[in-house]
Amino acid sequence: MSANVTGKTATNPVPLLDVGRGNRPLREEFLDAMAAVIDSGRFLHGPEVKQLEDSVAALSGARHAIGCASGSDALLLALMALDIRCGDEVIVPSFTFFATASAVWRLGAKPVFVDIDPETYNLDPLAVSRAITPATKAIIPVHLFGQSADMDPLLAMARHTGVAVIEDAAQAIGASYKGQGVGSLGAIGCFSFYPTKNLGGFGDGGLLTTNDDRLAERLRLFAAHGMNPRYYHQVVGINSRLDTIQAAILNVKLRHLEAWTAAREANAARYFQLFSRAGLSDQLGLPSAAVPGRHVWNQFTVRVPGGQRDAVRTQLAQRGIGSEIYYPVPLHLQQCFAPLGGQMGDLPHTERAAAEVLSLPIYPELTVDEQHRVVEALTDVLQVRRKAAA
């Protein structure tokens, strides 16, 4: 980096994510939307919530959408509505965010961790088929990094065994599988509006989708203390609502989601081009878009093999390039799940991914110049390390 006349460095850092860039141009629209909620006083159950539910239902191709307080709550509510309880087994990937498995554990059921396809980082259907037992009640495929899991074999297995499929679509709003929107493929779909997701709110928020009228009713029931009618409790539910003010903000943002997703796709295509031109395609494991459907690129995740990942990340940070590790510790090796007896060596593809993955900036507002700098920095770091090793 060279200093310019103002004393600032000539090249600014490239953060992993900068939510401000997407939000700043919409500031007036957000203020108007929030003012409407303030004036209406309908801070819960306002019409903005219904509007968002209808929009996301249409986007995913599901009949029903139900807002809730977070993606984590969506997973918990899905399991509650399906009557998952103590003694039941639920098949989940170990290479995912914690909430996919904690929801199972909180109900006293057993998360059964299964390995991933190393190409897509999503559940390996063959491994799932081996893990199904008479106690299995559900499978939770995660559409990790914005790409759908390979749903056909999972749905076929689920049909044959009478097991429910819950899609964890927290990272994949707008993604599809063979032309069908994620969230409409399994019994229930779970979405998150956490600020780093492709459709992120100004805080927590979540949503459930389903094609099943009865499940839709049960999800609404469980999200509202199991109460219907008022002060008559049919089941022990939880309190989980999407605030009207969050829905109002998300309605503004949803109008831009398609353009943002297209920008993410363009950024991903440019990374492929730049990495190949830099001759790095062989040294870095580039993401695979092998699954038929639309990948919405919540993350652009490469592999840095040979035990170099952490050092590479540090050296990228020294050059001002942000990156993150999603996820460094597989769930079957987490301390809290030690009672399940998971051991290093149980899930080799998961363990290897946890040691090698590195996610790079891919947000819609990332500039071409910034992408060049990311690729140049990574090329430089890898070259320096190769020379040092030689």
Ligand X SMILES: *Cc1c(COP(=O)(O)O)cnc(C)c1O
In this structure, are residues 369 and 14 in contact, taking their beta carbons and an 8 Å threshold?
no
Closest separation in Å from C-beta 255 to ligand X? 21
The enclosing H or E element of 262 equals: helix 244-277
C-alpha span between 249 and 57 (Å, rounded): 17
Give the list of residues 6+ apart from residue 262 with CB closer than 8 angstroms, or none. none
Closest separation in Å from C-beta 354 to ligand X? 15
By DSSP bridging, strand 188-192 and strand 110-114 are unpaired
Single residue of 17, 49, 78, 97 touching ligand X by CB under 6 A: 97
Residue 211, number of CB atoms within 10 A of its CB: 19
C-alpha span between 88 and 237 (Å, rounded): 19
C-alpha span between 150 and 199 (Å, rounded): 23
With respect to ligand X, which residue has the nearer C-beta, 299 or 315?
A: 299
**Any contact of residue 95 with ligand X (CB under 6 A)?**
no
**Any contact of residue 302 with ligand X (CB under 6 A)?**
no
For residues 225 to 264, the per-residue mask of contacts with ligand X, x marking binding by CB under 6 A and - elsewhere, is: ----------------------------------------
Give the list of residues 6+ apart from residue 205 with CB closer than 8 angstroms, or none. 67, 68, 69, 70, 192, 193, 194, 242, 243, 246, 247, 250
**Which residues between 13 and 52 bind ligand X (CB under 6 A)?**
none
**Any contact of residue 194 with ligand X (CB under 6 A)?**
yes
Closest separation in Å from C-beta 167 to ligand X? 10
Candidates 65-73, 232-240, 247-255, 336-344: pick the segment binding ligand X (CB under 6 A).
65-73
With respect to ligand X, which residue has the nearer C-beta, 164 or 170?
A: 170
Single residue of 17, 33, 170, 377 touching ligand X by CB under 6 A: 170
For residue 228, how far is the Cα from the chain centroid?
32
Single residue of 48, 53, 89, 204 touching ligand X by CB under 6 A: 204
**Any contact of residue 206 with ligand X (CB under 6 A)?**
yes
Residue type, 320: G
Q: How many helices (H) and strands (E) does the chain have?
A: 12, 11
**Any contact of residue 142 with ligand X (CB under 6 A)?**
yes
**Any contact of residue 168 with ligand X (CB under 6 A)?**
yes
With respect to ligand X, which residue has the nearer C-beta, 206 or 364?
A: 206
**Which residues between 99 and 128 bind ligand X (CB under 6 A)?**
99-100
Looking only at Cα atoms, what is the longest distance across the chain? Answer: 73
Give the list of residues 6+ apart from residue 7 with CB closer than 8 angstroms, or none. none
With respect to ligand X, which residue has the nearer C-beta, 140 or 302?
A: 140
The enclosing H or E element of 350 equals: helix 348-356
Closest separation in Å from C-beta 326 to ligand X? 8
- Tell me the C-alpha to C-alpha distance, in Å, between residue 85 and each of 72, 100, 266, 322, 339: 17, 16, 44, 41, 18
C-alpha span between 139 and 9 (Å, rounded): 50
**Any contact of residue 167 with ligand X (CB under 6 A)?**
no
In the bound state, the residue with its beta carbon closest to ligand X is 71
Residue 139, number of CB atoms within 10 A of its CB: 29
**Any contact of residue 141 with ligand X (CB under 6 A)?**
no
With respect to ligand X, which residue has the nearer C-beta, 194 or 260?
A: 194
Closest separation in Å from C-beta 196 to ligand X? 8
C-alpha span between 145 and 169 (Å, rounded): 10
With respect to ligand X, which residue has the nearer C-beta, 97 or 275?
A: 97
**Any contact of residue 147 with ligand X (CB under 6 A)?**
no
Closest separation in Å from C-beta 213 to ligand X? 25
Query: Would you state the structure tokens that stand for residue 258, as one six-digit string?
Result: 């398609």
Residue type, 122: N
Single residue of 72, 246, 299, 308 touching ligand X by CB under 6 A: 72
Candidates 13-21, 67-75, 130-138, 247-255: pick the segment binding ligand X (CB under 6 A).
67-75
Contact residues for ligand X (CB under 6 A)? 70-72, 96-97, 99-100, 142, 168, 170-171, 192, 194, 204, 206
